[in-house]
Amino acid sequence: MPHTSSVESGRFEGVDLTALAAREGTPLYVYSAPQIRQRVGSLRAALAGMDAGIRYAVKANGNAAILRLLAGEGAGADIVSGGELQRALRAGIAASRIVFSGVGKTDAEIVMALEAGIERFNVESHAELDSIQRLAAQRGVLAAASVRINPDVDARTHAKISTGKAENKFGVVIDDARAWFAESATRPNVRLDGLHMHIGSQLLDLAPVRAALARMAAFWRELEAAGHSIASIDVGGGLGVRYRAGETAPDAHDYAVAIAEALQGFRGRILVEPGRWLVAEAGILLSRVVLEKQGRERRFLVLDAAMNDLARPSLYDAWHDIVPLHTDAAREALDYDVVGPVCETGDTFATQRRMPRCAANELVAILGAGAYGASMSSTYNSRPLAAEVLVEDGRYAVIRCRQSPDAMIADERPATEWNTP
């Protein structure tokens, strides 16, 4: 999927990016609808031999238009908050295709999910299991639940996005899960009949996935032998993408083969929860160069996008390819520190990055920005949230208006009214 070349020519899905930036301003998130559809399609094709469903991880990019697009391609949702539940439902995703993960579900969130009638809860603690039983009993409903297993494998990804090691807060050990199944008669309003795992994000190597799947499969067989029927195995998300030209990421086919091999003989439903893999490479962050600055030791390219718009480089030291949109082949190559205007040294998109010289007011595209970009953005330094557009066939649609400074501060007020709680 040659995202780089499609942007290098100054166009993205046939849309002239210079004209788009002039119309809609920068920083601007631009997502390719065909590329997202292509990803879902190829994952569905890879999973075709299995009874498998895609539950898109909303946190990767929860924009309503993106959710609608994915829902139209048959994807459900993996949510981690009440807010994501509302987003998913409003985007037309059926509750029967929504699974709820997360280590700290509040009673209010559990109630919202029960009332919506979601597909199942991915339960991460004994206390949560008890809460679901209590709240489901109060309403006289039966909640389907899977236990999130912490398989204790090293996903070999960045520590901050690794979730399947024993020291991580996620899931429970198999011994605990075994006890939950054994005592399930004490929870008549919970149908505990599923297993879930999610070992981490941006996995570039399938070996840890295979190791975790093997543990899940052994446990599923043990449970079946003990008389517990397992209707659902959810293998989580985490499939990695190419952030850097030349990098290789696992493809959908190899991933599906790993799942099929590990779960051979399983007769229930398999769920997958990809987030990043479906949307990351389909998105760019379009930004304008504010100025070039020669420091004593470094040459800086200061953009109008910053860490509040795209946090991944400052949060995870993540690499994003950065492509200047000027087409002047005669420009010299320079080593830039590409930075934003926010008052933090961590507001750095790239360090000592060799790229053709850029000048003020020219545009650059930060690639691979479709996942964990807009969804992690903030208004830090009182920078209103960037606009987002979807492109396809030479046209674009605004799917999030640029936040106005008024809207940014609208909910704040002077302390003129004092109350006692």
Ligand X SMILES: *Cc1c(COP(=O)(O)O)cnc(C)c1O
CB of 375 to ligand X, least distance (A): 10
Going by C-alpha positions, the residue among 123, 96, 97 that lies closest to residue 109 is 123
Considering beta carbons, is residue 128 or 304 the nearer one to ligand X?
A: 128
Among 35, 81, 101, 146, the residue binding ligand X under the rule CB under 6 A is 101
Considering beta carbons, is residue 1 or 398 the nearer one to ligand X?
A: 1
Considering beta carbons, is residue 43 or 307 the nearer one to ligand X?
A: 43
CB of 218 to ligand X, least distance (A): 21
Considering beta carbons, is residue 165 or 299 the nearer one to ligand X?
A: 165
Residue 334 neighbours by CB under 8 Å, 6+ apart: 299, 354, 355, 356, 357
Going by C-alpha positions, the residue among 249, 233, 158 that lies closest to residue 198 is 233
Considering beta carbons, is residue 201 or 287 the nearer one to ligand X?
A: 201
Q: How many Å apart are CA 285 and CA 48, to the nearest integer?
A: 33
CB of 60 to ligand X, least distance (A): 5
* Active-site position among 329, 333, 343, 415: 343
Asked whether position 236 contacts ligand X by CB under 6 A, the answer is: yes
CB of 81 to ligand X, least distance (A): 11
Among 3, 32, 36, 59, the residue binding ligand X under the rule CB under 6 A is 59
Asked whether position 198 contacts ligand X by CB under 6 A, the answer is: yes
Asked whether position 187 contacts ligand X by CB under 6 A, the answer is: no
CB of 10 to ligand X, least distance (A): 29
Q: How many Å apart are CA 155 and CA 160, to the nearest integer?
A: 11
Asked whether position 238 contacts ligand X by CB under 6 A, the answer is: yes
Asked whether position 61 contacts ligand X by CB under 6 A, the answer is: no
Backbone phi, then psi, for 132, in 5-degree steps? -65, -45
Asked whether position 32 contacts ligand X by CB under 6 A, the answer is: no
Q: Does the active-site annotation cover 343?
A: yes
Among 40, 60, 190, 365, the residue binding ligand X under the rule CB under 6 A is 60
Backbone phi, then psi, for 248, in 5-degree steps? -115, 140
Give me the half-sphere count of Cα atoms (radius 13 Å) on the Cβ side of residue 45: 9
Helices 64-72 and 33-46 cross at an angle (nearest 10°) of: 40
CB of 138 to ligand X, least distance (A): 26
Q: How many Å apart are CA 277 and CA 254, to the nearest integer?
A: 14
Q: b/e for 177-189, b at 16 or more Cβ within 10 A?
A: bbebbeebeebeb
Considering beta carbons, is residue 14 or 74 the nearer one to ligand X?
A: 74
Asked whether position 162 contacts ligand X by CB under 6 A, the answer is: no
Asked whether position 57 contacts ligand X by CB under 6 A, the answer is: yes
Asked whether position 151 contacts ligand X by CB under 6 A, the answer is: no
Asked whether position 365 contacts ligand X by CB under 6 A, the answer is: no
* Residue 197 contacts residue 153 (beta carbons within 8 Å): no
Coarse DSSP helix, strand, coil percentages of the chain, rounded to the nearest 5 percent: 35, 25, 40
Asked whether position 171 contacts ligand X by CB under 6 A, the answer is: no
Going by C-alpha positions, the residue among 247, 239, 332 that lies closest to residue 4 is 247
Tokens representing 256 are: 């599906």
Tokens representing 43 are: 């994952």
Residues in 255-294 at the binding interface with ligand X, rule: CB under 6 A: 273-277
CB of 348 to ligand X, least distance (A): 23
Which secondary structure element, helix H or strand E, spans residue 24, and what is its range? helix 17-24
Considering beta carbons, is residue 239 or 399 the nearer one to ligand X?
A: 239
Backbone phi, then psi, for 129, in 5-degree steps? -60, -45
Which stretch, 179-187, 230-238, 300-308, 379-387, contacts ligand X (CB under 6 A)? 230-238
Which stretch, 7-15, 179-187, 206-214, 232-240, contacts ligand X (CB under 6 A)? 232-240
Helix ranges, 233-356 (H): 252-262, 276-279, 312-316
Which residue numbers are catalytic?
343
- Kindly list the residues in this chain that would bind ligand X in the complex (CB under 6 A): 57, 59-60, 78, 80, 101, 198, 201, 236-239, 273-277
